[in-house]
Amino acid sequence: MSAPKPYANPYLAGAGLGLVLLAAFVVAGRGLGASGAFIRVSEHLRGGGGPWFDWIVVEIIGVVAGGGLSAWLAGRWRVAVDRGADRSASGRLAAAAGGGALMGAGAVLARGCTSGLGLTGGAMLSVGSWLFIAAAFAAGYATMPIVRRAWR
């Protein structure tokens, strides 16, 4: 089995991502999002109304398809638990779920996440989005020393 292909240049990948975001502006007048899809799914599971195939839910399905396809073609597809060298899989999974819960709460409070506010709001120069980006990065750097051992 051949080794997985190396990752792409981050600036090129970012520029490509920016063109995708621009395409969303031009075609649909809206940007990318992720946490919104989680909110829609949560509402539906609790019996809320509205169509299942909302724009953002369809988009997230695309993200799953695109990510999976890219990994498979690059030889990077495998079942695994990405974690630090001396971390147990179960410890990692528990932390992942906990982190996910915090992100879910933060995203509801802020009305978005790194995709909806960071990328879309960032490109559209929204003040609240830039405040979110700054706060998220600041909190990330502040929190890393606490969980640092998990990522060595």
Tokens 């490109």 correspond to 123
Looking at the Cβ atoms of 16 and 86, the one nearer to other proteins is 16
Looking at the Cβ atoms of 31 and 49, the one nearer to other proteins is 31
State the nearest-atom distance from the C-beta of 50 to other proteins, in Å: 14
| Cβ count near 62 (within 10 Å) | 10
Of 36, 133, 59, 147, residue with least CA distance to 99: 147
Looking at the Cβ atoms of 1 and 45, the one nearer to other proteins is 45
CA distance 44 to 150: 35
Q: 55: which residues sit within 8 A by CB, 6+ positions away?
A: 28, 30
Looking at the Cβ atoms of 1 and 26, the one nearer to other proteins is 26
State the nearest-atom distance from the C-beta of 61 to other proteins, in Å: 6
State the nearest-atom distance from the C-beta of 85 to other proteins, in Å: 9
CA distance 24 to 100: 26
State the nearest-atom distance from the C-beta of 152 to other proteins, in Å: 9
State the nearest-atom distance from the C-beta of 74 to other proteins, in Å: 8
Q: Where on the phi/psi map is residue 3: left (φ > 0), alpha (ψ -120 to 50), or beta?
A: beta
Looking at the Cβ atoms of 1 and 109, the one nearer to other proteins is 109
